């Protein structure tokens, strides 16, 4: 059941009226739990029990790990809870990766070992809800969040269906107070939620899903494509993954508003960043801040010697790469992004301390200065280079892609396979159209929010055009979001 499916529309049509007819917040939360587990069980009912089990475990850990007088065993309790969560995540997501890597290492050293592999199905969203629960228990341990004593409120927080599958990875201090309070329907909030949902659905179905075909052609057999075609493939993948993942976040935030909740912003026009550091303050903000608070700062952050600071950055980004997937391509992708941040540790001018996700990217002027434009283009090119490793099947494939691009290598055949993919010129136009719209509207959380200044007829013309464009150009067949696999 994906956000862009007819099944989800029917699910939402049933959930919303029942939810708002319930006037008591406890009943609302209990209903949200049922809706969340039904939504999750639609993928695989067996893993709903896994999420329920880890949810109860973290609820108990929160009760026992708080900094209360006489609580001498809270550190042990915390580590038991974290170990259980990481064990579940490690088994389902990384068991075969680590056993295969160990097997290959032993063979390279001349030792014969038997390969151990099991057919493990990765539970959808396990990386997201596991990190959300872990942040709760860690915050309780450090006294940043009070232990939640109402199990219904806590399970509603863990299983909140708008952000269950792919975030944002919320913090307890932001979300639990919202579950503890009574929600009252707010028409203004709901209207903005509908606008953000519409924008997300359009990005997903019109751009992201249609970019899948040419991107697959580029990365499935890179040795047969020219350097120009591969460069186009990497460029299109940059927007496929952006439109796909930011669309999920847009829909999640919009759905939350329909239910009376406020989720944290997860994307802030990252491709207008002027440095890699700024990019990571604007891309997947909930995960970036999670790794900052629970990995980078505990390692020491920017304190200590330069060597320690470099180590902390590289370790944090390498782990972040591994979080994205059980493959060495993701690990190298994370490491490369960490390397790109090292100059900021030595050059104060590269710190970008004033460039926050809440700032207007590229400054307030409609036409950026030449320096800003060059920095944005340079940052985007570097990000595209790292995307090649993220998307390629192997590191050697990624290296081949980049090498053929740099050498402007010709295609093997007389006709480029990219030319056989329908609508590639139209898709390129759609990407540049998206960039133009986002640049003009970048002072707002999402482009449709900029329409609030226009008369109602103008707004509805835009809404209707987006709906028709989605209906005509969109595809219901693709559906699943890329980040579900992470």
* The three-state (H, E, C) secondary structure of the chain, written as one string: CCCCCHHHHHHHHHHHHHHHHCCCHHHHHHHHHHHHHHHHHCCCHHHHHHHHHHHHHHHHHHHHCCCCCCCCCHHHHHHHHHHHHHHHHHHHHHHHHHHHHHHHHHHHCCCCCCCCCCCCCCCCCHHHHHHHHHHHHHHHHCCCCCCCCCHHHHHHHHCCHHHCCCCCCCCHHHHHHHHHCCCCCCHHHHHHHHHHHHHHHHHHHHHHHHHHHHHHHHHHCHHHCCHHHHHHHHHHHHHHHHHHHHHHHHHHHHHHHHCCCCCCCCCCCHHHCCCHHHHHHHCCHHHHHHHHHHHHHHHCCCCCCHHHHHHHHHHHHHHHHHHHCCCHHHHHHHHHHHHHHHHHHHCHHHCCCCCCCCCCCCCCCCCCCHHHHHHHHHHHHHHHHHHHHHHCCCHHHHHHHHHHHHHCCCCCCCCCHHHHCCCHHHHHHHHHHHHHHHHHCCCCCCHHHHHHHCCHHHHHHHHHHHHHHHHHHCCCCCCCCHHHHC
Q: What is the pLDDT of residue 102?
A: 65
Q: What is the pLDDT of residue 43?
A: 84
Spell out the residues 6+ positions from residue 60 whose beta carbon is closer than 8 angstroms to its own: none
C-alpha 281, offset from chain centre: 13
Locate tokens 């952006």: which residue? 242
Q: What is the pLDDT of residue 369?
A: 93
Using an 8 Å Cβ cutoff, are 392 and 220 in contact? no
Using an 8 Å Cβ cutoff, are 51 and 136 in contact? no
- The pLDDT profile of the chain, 486 residues, written as one tens digit per residue, is 788 888 899 999 999 999 999 989 999 999 999 999 999 998 888 889 999 999 999 999 999 988 877 677 888 999 999 999 999 988 888 777 777 676 566 676 677 767 666 676 778 888 899 999 999 999 999 999 999 999 999 999 999 999 988 879 999 999 999 999 989 999 999 999 999 999 999 999 999 999 999 999 999 888 888 899 999 999 999 999 999 999 999 999 999 999 999 999 999 999 999 999 999 999 999 999 999 999 999 999 888 888 899 999 999 999 999 988 878 999 999 999 999 999 887 775 444 455 677 789 988 899 999 999 999 999 999 999 999 999 999 999 999 999 999 988 887 766 677 767 778 888 999 999 999 999 999 999 999 998 888 888 999 999 999 999 988 887 655 567 777 666
Q: Identify the burial level of 16 via C-beta atoms within 10 angstroms of its C-beta, where 0-12 means exposed, 13-18 middle and 19 or more buried.
A: middle
Pick the catalytic residue: 103, 174, 284, 324? 324
Q: What is the pLDDT of residue 104?
A: 65
Q: What is the pLDDT of residue 427?
A: 92
Whether 324 sits among the annotated catalytic residues: the reply is yes
The pTM (predicted TM-score) of the whole model is 0.91
The number of CA neighbours under 13 Å toward the Cβ of 438 is 22
């Amino acid at each position: 059941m994906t956000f862009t499916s007819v099944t989800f529309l029917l699910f939402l049509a049933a959930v919303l009226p029942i939810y708002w007819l319930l006037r008591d917040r406890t009943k609302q939360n209990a209903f949200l739990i049922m809706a969340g587990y039904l939504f999750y069980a639609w993928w695989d009912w067996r893993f709903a029990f896994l999420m329920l089990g880890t949810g109860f475990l973290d609820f108990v850990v929160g009760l026992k790990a708080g900094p209360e007088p006489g609580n001498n065993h809270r550190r042990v309790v915390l580590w038991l809870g974290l170990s259980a969560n990481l064990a579940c995540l490690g088994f389902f997501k990384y068991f075969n990766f680590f056993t295969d890597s160990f097997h290959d290492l032993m063979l390279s050293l001349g030792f014969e070992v038997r390969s151990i592999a099991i057919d493990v199905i990765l539970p959808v969203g396990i990386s997201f809800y596991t990190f959300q629960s872990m942040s709760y228990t860690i915050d309780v341990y450090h006294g940043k969040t009070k232990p939640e004593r109402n199990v219904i409120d806590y399970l509603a927080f863990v299983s909140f269906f708008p952000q269950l599958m792919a975030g944002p990875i919320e913090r307890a201090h932001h979300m639990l107070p919202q579950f503890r309070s009574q929600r009252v329907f707010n028409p203004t909030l709901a209207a903005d939620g509908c606008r953000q949902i519409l924008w997300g659905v359009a990005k997903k179905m019109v751009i992201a899903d249609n970019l899948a075909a040419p991107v697959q052609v580029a990365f499935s057999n890179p040795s047969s494509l020219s350097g120009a075609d591969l460069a186009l493939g990497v460029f299109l993948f940059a927007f496929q993954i952006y439109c796909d993942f930011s669309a999920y976040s847009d829909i999640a935030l919009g759905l939350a508003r329909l239910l009376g909740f406020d989720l944290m912003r997860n994307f802030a026009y990252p491709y207008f960043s002027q440095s890699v550091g700024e990019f990571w303050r604007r891309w997947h903000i909930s995960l970036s801040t999670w790794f900052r608070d629970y990995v980078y700062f505990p390692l020491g952050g920017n304190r200590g010697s330069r060597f320690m600071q470099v180590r902390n950055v590289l370790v944090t980004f390498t782990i972040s790469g591994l979080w994205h997937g059980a493959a060495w391509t993701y690990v190298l992708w994370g490491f490369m992004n960490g390397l790109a941040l090292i100059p900021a540790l030595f050059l104060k001018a590269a710190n970008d301390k004033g460039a926050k996700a809440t700032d207007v990217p590229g400054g307030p002027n409609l036409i950026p200065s030449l320096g800003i434009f060059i920095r944005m283009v340079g940052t985007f090119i570097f990000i595209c280079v790292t995307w090649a490793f993220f998307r390629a099947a192997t590191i050697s494939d990624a290296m081949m892609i980049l090498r053929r691009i740099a050498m402007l290598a010709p295609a093997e055949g007389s006709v480029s396979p990219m030319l056989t993919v329908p609508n590639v010129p139209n898709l390129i136009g759609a990407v540049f159209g998206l960039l133009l719209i986002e640049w003009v509207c970048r002072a707002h959380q999402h482009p449709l929010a900029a329409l609030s200044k226009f008369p109602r007829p103008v707004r509805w013309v835009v809404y209707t055009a987006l709906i028709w464009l989605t209906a005509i150009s969109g595809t219901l067949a693709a559906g699943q979001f890329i980040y579900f696999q992470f």
